[in-house]
């Protein structure tokens, strides 16, 4: 499969780079763009019950800031080829403000003990910068565009559709979950950019009669430079198997077809796509840990949205072989398919945009438990543009997660819930 994609990529690369038509050359430009936001968040979340209840309790109010810096390079060669690069630097979603010296007396360097943070999380500060997407691209008017680097694939990236997030901070896919502590208290969902920005090659076609299509391929789910490890282990980008740890995606392939058109003043856009992958193999066959290997992803994604008179409505449906939130589905007694529905609507009048969205997801959850995991989120919000690039936002988001027979923090079979109100200001230049 990957040979096919690489071969087709080479064909297109030849076509893109081989164009010789005369065209106006444009010297490259370098731009710096940025984003900053400041939020007040009132977070009312469950904090455990019974044996899961922590001895540390949480307050409800907090301020939080976030920023991005984008470097954007664009140019056009005399033969008509456009080219460029984008490097996005961000303050990442670093949840831990601990140093290594505060955990296990400073000896904490490896995998996390049960219930504790991983080494990467432990050394992270909430103010650290890292790269988000970074890629170089070349494009021709007739052959399409190739991108090389760290970014989303075509299904939940370039050609994604149906995710209405242009109000508040994004609703279901907004800032609410930055404020909720504990992965058990954050419901799973699927939205644009939900898979990580693994290093990959992306091809997108020109538009023909309203249709364009694309495909992407990455050898694994590793981002950034280098191998990801210094000793052989599951952290290595090229990891092929593991004995203790988690399965990772290998040979991730995405393909999507998008249509955009206008009918009687209504703009329509639709996307159908497929996300597939292999998975690293579990070599741990000890009887005490009868855990099988994971299955690769095989998920179909379908998005549709319509825009008219300032209103936009959309929906995105994903179904296929995956566990919650497009994580790999481990072998177990419960191998049900992932089902995810995202719906949203927004309306813009003058400087005000209001909207709402929601997400429902069922998945296997704990594969050794026969019941389904159910996650749901809904959100309403608004933003008001004080000036182009400067907006006030307000949003309320409520989410819950539950799996019968499993303790997700509030006792076996009970629902875990988090409700977040956010108001803040954000700007972009």
The CA radius of gyration of the chain, in Å to the nearest whole number, is 22
Residue 166 CB neighbours (<10 A): 16
Q: How many residues does the chain have?
A: 429
Cα–Cα dist 254/320, whole Å: 14
Cα–Cα dist 181/377, whole Å: 16
Residues 6+ apart with CB under 8 A from 13: 146
Q: What are phi and psi of 53, to 5 degrees?
A: -75, 130
Residue 2 CB neighbours (<10 A): 14
Instruction: CB nearer to other proteins: give 248 or 426.
Output: 426
CB of 291 to other proteins, least distance (A): 29
Instruction: CB nearer to other proteins: give 249 or 402.
Output: 249
What sign for the dihedral angle of Cα 284, 286, 288, 291? positive
CB of 246 to other proteins, least distance (A): 24
Instruction: CB nearer to other proteins: give 181 or 427.
Output: 427
16 to each of 6, 82, 231, 287, how far by Cα in Å? 15, 10, 40, 54
CB of 29 to other proteins, least distance (A): 3
Tokens of 92: 């990442």
What is the DSSP annotation of 48-100?
A: --GGG--SS---SEEEEEEEEEEEEEEEE-TTS-EEEEEEEEEE--------G
Instruction: CB nearer to other proteins: give 214 or 409.
Output: 214
Instruction: CB nearer to other proteins: give 24 or 231.
Output: 24
CB of 239 to other proteins, least distance (A): 25
Residue 174 CB neighbours (<10 A): 23
Instruction: CB nearer to other proteins: give 212 or 334.
Output: 212
CB of 308 to other proteins, least distance (A): 8
CB of 26 to other proteins, least distance (A): 6
Instruction: CB nearer to other proteins: give 223 or 334.
Output: 223
SS3 of 65, please?
A: strand
CB of 179 to other proteins, least distance (A): 15
């Amino acid at each position: 499969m990957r040979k096919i994609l690489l071969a087709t990529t080479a064909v297109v690369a030849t076509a893109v780079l081989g164009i010789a038509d005369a065209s106006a050359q444009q010297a490259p430009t370098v731009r710096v763009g940025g984003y900053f936001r400041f939020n007040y968040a009132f977070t009312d979340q469950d904090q455990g019950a019974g044996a899961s209840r922590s001895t540390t309790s949480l307050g409800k109010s907090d301020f939080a800031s976030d920023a991005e810096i984008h470097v954007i390079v664009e140019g056009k060669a005399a033969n008509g080829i456009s080219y460029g690069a984008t490097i996005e630097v961000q303050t990442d979603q670093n949840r831990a403000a601990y140093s290594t010296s505060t955990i296990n007396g400073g000896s904490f360097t490896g995998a996390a003990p049960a219930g504790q943070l991983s080494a990467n999380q432990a050394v992270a500060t909430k103010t650290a910068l890292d790269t988000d997407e970074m890629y170089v691209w070349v494009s021709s008017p007739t052959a399409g565009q190739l991108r090389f680097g760290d970014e989303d694939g075509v299904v939940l990236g370039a050609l994604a559709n149906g995710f209405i997030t242009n109000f508040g901070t994004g609703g279901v896919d907004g800032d609410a979950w930055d404020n909720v502590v504990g992965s058990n208290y954050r419901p799973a969902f699927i939205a644009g950019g939900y898979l990580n920005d693994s290093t990959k090659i992306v091809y997108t076609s020109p538009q023909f009669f309203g249709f364009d299509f694309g495909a992407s391929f990455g050898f694994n789910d590793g981002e950034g430079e280098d191998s990801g490890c210094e000793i052989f282990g599951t952290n290595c980008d090229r990891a092929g198997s593991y004995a203790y740890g988690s399965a990772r995606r290998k040979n991730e392939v995405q393909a999507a077809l998008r249509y955009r058109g206008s009918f009687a003043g209504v703009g329509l856009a639709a996307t159908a796509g497929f996300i597939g992958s292999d998975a690293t193999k579990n070599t741990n066959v000890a009887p005490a840990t009868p855990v099988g290997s994971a299955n690769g992803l095989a998920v179909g994604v379908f998005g549709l949205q319509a825009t008219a008179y300032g209103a936009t409505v959309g929906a995105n449906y994903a179904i296929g072989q995956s566990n919650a939130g497009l994580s790999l589905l481990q072998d177990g007694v419960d191998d049900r398919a992932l089902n995810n529905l995202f719906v949203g609507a927004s309306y813009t009048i003058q400087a005000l945009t209001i909207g709402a969205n929601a997400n429902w997801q069922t998945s296997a959850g704990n594969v050794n438990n026969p019941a389904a995991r159910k996650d749901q989120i809904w959100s309403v919000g608004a933003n008001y543009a004080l000036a182009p690039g400067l907006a006030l936002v307000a949003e309320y988001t409520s989410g819950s997660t539950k799996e019968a027979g499993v303790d997700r923090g509030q006792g076996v079979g009970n629902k875990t819930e988090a409700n977040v109100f956010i108001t803040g200001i954000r700007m972009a230049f």
